[in-house]
Structure 1
Amino acid sequence: MLGALGTGTLPYLAALPAYAKTPAMAAIPYGAAVRTDPLYDDPAYKKAILDHCQIIVGEGGLKWIDLRPDRHIFDFTQPDRQLAFAEEHGLEMRGHTLIWYGAMPEWTETIASAEEARFELVSHIETVVGRYRGRIRSWDVCNEPIADNPTRDAPIRDSVWQRHLGRDYIELALRTTAAIDPDARLVINDYDIEQATDSGRAKRKAFLDLVRDLKARDVPLHAVGLQGHIRPDIPIDRSGLTAFVAELDAMGLGVLVTELDVIDDSLPGPVAERDAAVAAVAKEFLEAIGAACRPEAVVTWGISDRFTWVPIWFTRGDGMPNRPLPLDADYQKKPMMQVIEDFTRSFNQ
C-alpha cells in the first residue's frame, strides 16, 4: 500500500524521537485525547497512553472556556501539564482548538462589533500559539466551521466569529497562526463528513468549497481533520468519503483522523457482539480514507471507556455502559484497537 502512495516521511513520524522509530513501528502514528488529572493520578491510565500512543491531544484545556474564564485572564494550567507529560515521555501533542463556535465563556457573548471580534481572535491566537511556538507543532486552528445542514447561501456554522466577521474569520485565524509560528501545521477540523445522508454530502461539498477557496487565495492550510464520531445507525458513504479524501490529497493537503470513536447507543447490548460491531464500523471508516491516501495520524477521542464524553449525550437505553473506545474501562484491548493497529501498520507493507 505504501508503495502506491509514496514514501515521504510523515510530519508526525519525523518529529518522534529517534528511539521511538523502530522497524515494528506503525507507518501512521496513533494518539488519543487525554484528560489531565489521570495522566498524573492514575498509573493504569498513564501506562495505557505510554503503551499505545505517539500523540496526545487535550480533551480540554486549550478550549476558550478553559483558557479564558475572564476576558483578561489566560489559565494555561491544563495544557502546560499535558505538554510537560508529552515532552517528558517523547510524545507529540496536538493543539485543540484555537477557534470554535462551542465551549465559549459567557463573556464572549458581549463582543459587539467586527473590530472587537477581530481583536479578541487575533490576540487569543497570538498569546496561545506564541506560548507554545515550536513545541505544539500541529493545531486544529478552526474547529467545526461547516454548518450541520449547509446550504449554498449559508455553508458556514453560526458563531460569534461568523456573526461579526463572516467567513473571513477562518482566513484570519489561519494567517494569524502562521504568522506566529511559521513551522506549525495548520488544520481545519470537522465531523459527520463520512455520512451517507443528504447533510453528509452537503457537508463534504461545503468543506471542499471552503478549502478550494482558501487554497486559491494562498491562505496557509496544511491538512484537514476528519473527526470520526461515527454513528453505526447512519451508513458510511465509502465511495463519497474516499472521493472527498482523494480531492484533498490532489490539492496537496494532508488528512488526519482526529477524534475517532464509535457512538454505540444504537448497537446490541451483549459486549462481544457490540465490540465487534464497533470495530467493524471503525474499520470501514479507516479503510475508506486509506483507499485515497495515507493519513498523517489516527487519534481517538479518549483511549479507554473509563473516560469518554459519549454517555453525556448518548446514554444507552438499556442502562449498560457505553463502549466507544479502543480499550475497555479496565484498560484491556478491544477489537477496535486491533483494527487501528492493523490499519496503521498496513502502510509499512
Structure 2
Amino acid sequence: MRYKLFCSPKTLAAALLLVTGCVAPSKQVPAQQIPSLKDAFKNDFLIGTALNVAHIQERDQKAAVLIPKQFNAATPENIMKAEHIHPEWGRYDFDMPDKLVEYGKKNNISINAHTLIWHSQMPAFARRMQSVDSFRTFFNEHIKTVAGRYKGKVQSWDVVNEALNEDGTMRRSPFLQKLGPDFVTEAFRLAAAADPQAQLYYNDYNNEQPAKRAGCIALIKKVQDAGVKIDGVGIQGHWHVGRVPFQHIEESIEQYAALGIKVAFTELDIEVLPRNFQGADVNQRMQDNPGLNPYKDGLPDSVQQQLAKDYQQLFELFLKHKDKISRVTFWGVTDGDSWLNGWPVRGRTNYPLLFDRNYEPKPAFYKVVATKRK
C-alpha cells in the first residue's frame, strides 16, 4: 500500500501530506508527527538554516521548538559580518556571536561562521581607508581576531564571500584594489593559522554557472597551489521556481569535488516572485510596482506544486552526490524570515522555503523528506 511506504498510519491527514504534499488548511498535522529534516538526512549531509538575532535569543517559542528539531547546522545571517562584529577600529562586538556559539552548543547545532572577508557590509572606517598599509592591517587583524576568538568553537568558516564577477574574473572590490588578487589566498592562510580545526570555505552565488564556475575553480586551484588550506566551496543556491539549473548544479558538484574539496549548498532558497536579473548581489534593486508582488494573499497551488517539484528534484540530485556534499543550508527558517521579502524589492510576500509563515511544513517539505523513502 502506498500509505505504508510514505508515512505513519496514525492519521489519514498525515498520510496524504507525505504522499501528495497537500493538505487542507484545516487539517494540520500534529507537531509530533512531522518528520525531522536533520534525522531524515543524518547519514548524508548536515541540514542547516540561517539564524537571525530573534532566533538566537529564542524570542519566538515556535521557532525555538522548530529549529533544533529540524536542523543540525546554522549560519548567522548578519551578526558575524564585519560591519557588525568589527564596527570601529580596534573595537569588536562579540556579544551576539558569543550567544550564537552558546545556542549551538545548547541545541547540538554546528555553526558555520559567516563571513570573514566580504566587500559588502564592510565597516565604514575600513571603507574610508586610503592607506594600503592601514587597510592591510585591518585585513590581517580582523581575520586573526575574529577567527581566533572562535577557535575550536565553530565547525566552519566562509572565509571569503563573493570575490568573483559573473564572467569568472575577480570583482573590483576594495580588497582587490588595495591588496591585489592574492588577498583570497592570504585570507585562507590567516584563517587556517587562527583556527586550524575549522573547515574553510570559499562562498559565492551563481558559481554553478559555467563561466563563474571556471573562475571559481581557478581561484580554488590558486589557493591550493600556494599550499594553503581550503576545505570546500559554497554554492549559495539562490534559484528561481521552474528555472533551477539542475544540469549546471550537477556539473559543478562533480567538478568542484574533483579538486579534492567538499561542496556545500550554503544559502538555499527558491524564489517565486518575478525578477529581471539573476544572482544575489545585494546592491542590485528593482523599482517597485504592483505586478512584482502578485501573491500577497497566498501562493497559487500551481506555483506551490512547482516549488515542491523543484525541491524534490534538487534533493534527489543532492542524494545522488551525497559523498561530495557536506551541508545543505536553507537561507531562513520560514518564509516570513526570508531576505527575499525585502530584496530586490522591499515589502514583497515571498515563499521560497520549506516552512510557511505559521511555521507549518509546506508541500515542498514533504517532497524533500520523501526523497529518502524512494
Give the shorter-chain TM-score range: 0.7 to 0.9
The yes-or-no answer on 1:72 pairing with 2:90 is yes
Cα distance in structure 2, aligned partners of 1:24 and 1:287: 12
1:81 is paired with a residue whose SS is helix
User: Which segments of 5 or more consecutive residues in structure 1 lack a partner in the other structure?
Assistant: 1-20, 195-199
The within-5 A match list for 1:161-180 is 161-180=175-194
Distance 1:81 1:239, change over 3 A: same
Q: 1:275 to 1:256 in 2, by over 3 A?
A: same
Distance 1:24 1:138, change over 3 A: closer
Cα 1:166/1:284, change in 2 over 3 Å: farther
How far residue 133 of structure 1 moved from its aligned partner, in angstroms, is 0.5
CA drift at 1:23: 9.2
Whole-angstrom CA distance in 2 between matches of 1:232 and 1:332: 20
Residue 207 (1) aligns with residue 216 (2): yes
Superimposed CA distance per residue, residues 137-176 of structure 1 (whole angstroms, 9 cap, x where no aligned partner): 20000011111344xxxx1112111110122110111000
Q: CA deviation at 1:109?
A: 1.7
Once residues 38 and 22 of structure 1 are traced to their aligned partners in structure 2, the CA distance between those partners, rounded to angstroms, is 21
1:321 aligns with 2:339: no
Give deviations 1:4-29, integer Å, cap 9, x for gaps.
xxxxxxxxxxxxxxxxx979844222
Report the equivalent of 2:173: 159
Tell whether the 8 Å contact from 2:73 to 2:112 is kept in structure 1 after alignment.
yes
| Residues 23 and 322 of structure 1, relative CA distance in 2, 3 Å threshold | closer
Deviations 1:186-238 (A, max 9, x none): 000011234xxxxx3211111111112222222210000110011236x4443
Distance of 1:314 and 1:273 partners within structure 2: 24
After the TM superposition, which residues 87-102 of structure 1 pair with which residues of structure 2 at under 5 Å, given as runs?
87-102=105-120
Distance 1:24 1:101 in 2: 34
Q: Aligned with 2:342: secondary structure?
A: helix
Q: In the aligned structure 2, how far is the partner of 1:228 from the partner of 1:134? A: 28
Which residue does 2:335 correspond to in 1? 305
Range 87-96 or range 64-73, more displaced: 64-73
Q: Secondary structure at the match of 1:296?
A: strand
Distance 1:286 1:89, change over 3 A: same
From 329, 333, 339, the equivalent of 2:361 is 333
The equivalent residue for 1:82 is: 100
2:104 maps to amino acid: A
Q: Is the 8 Å Cα contact of residues 44 and 322 (structure 2) preserved in structure 1?
A: no
2:302 counterpart of 1:273: yes
Query: Cα–Cα, structure 1 residues 120 and 320, in superposed 2: closer, same or farther, change >3 Å?
Result: closer
Instruction: State the alpha-carbon separation in 2 of the partners of residues 340 and 208 from structure 1.
Output: 29
- Equivalent in the alignment of 1:144: 162
One-letter amino acid matched to 1:321: T
CA–CA distance in structure 2, aligned partners of residues 70 and 339 of structure 1: 46
Paired residues of 1:187 and 1:223 also in contact (CA < 8 A) = yes
**Maintained 8 Å contact 1:26/1:341:** no
1:129 partner letter = A
Tell me if structure 1 keeps the 8 A contact 2:167–2:215.
no
- Stretch deviating more after TM superposition (92-101 or 274-283): 274-283
Aligned residue runs from structure 1 range 1-349, under 5 A: 25-39=42-56, 40-150=58-168, 155-194=169-208, 200-232=209-241, 235-266=243-274, 269=295, 270-294=299-323, 295-315=325-345, 321-342=349-370, 345=372
Shift of 1:57: 1.1
- SS of 2:358's equivalent in the other structure is coil
Q: Distance in 2 between matches of 1:28 and 1:128?
A: 27
Q: d(CA) in 1 for partners of 2:111 and 2:302?
A: 34
Instruction: Return closer, same or farther for 1:265/1:296 CA change in 2, 3 Å cut-off.
Output: same
> For the Cα contact (< 8 Å) 2:79–2:96, is it kept in 1?
yes
Q: CA RMSD in A?
A: 2.4
What are the ranges of 5 or more consecutive residues in structure 2 without an aligned counterpart? Answer: 1-37, 275-292
Residue pair 2:41, 2:47 contacting (<8 A) in 1 also: no
The aligned amino acid for 1:206 is G
- Normalising by structure 1, report the TM-score: 0.83
Q: Report the secondary structure of 1:225's partner residue.
A: strand
Give the C-alpha shift of residue 241 in structure 1: 2.6
Q: Secondary structure at 1:338's aligned position in 2?
A: helix
Residue 328 of structure 1: how far off its partner (Å)? 0.3
Equivalent AA in structure 2 for residue 244 of structure 1 = S
Give 1:314 shift: 4.2
Give the count of matched residue pairs.
314
Aligned in 2, Cα 1:130/1:292: closer, same or farther, shift over 3 Å?
Answer: same
Larger-gyration structure (1/2): 2
* Percentage identity across paired residues of the two chains: 28
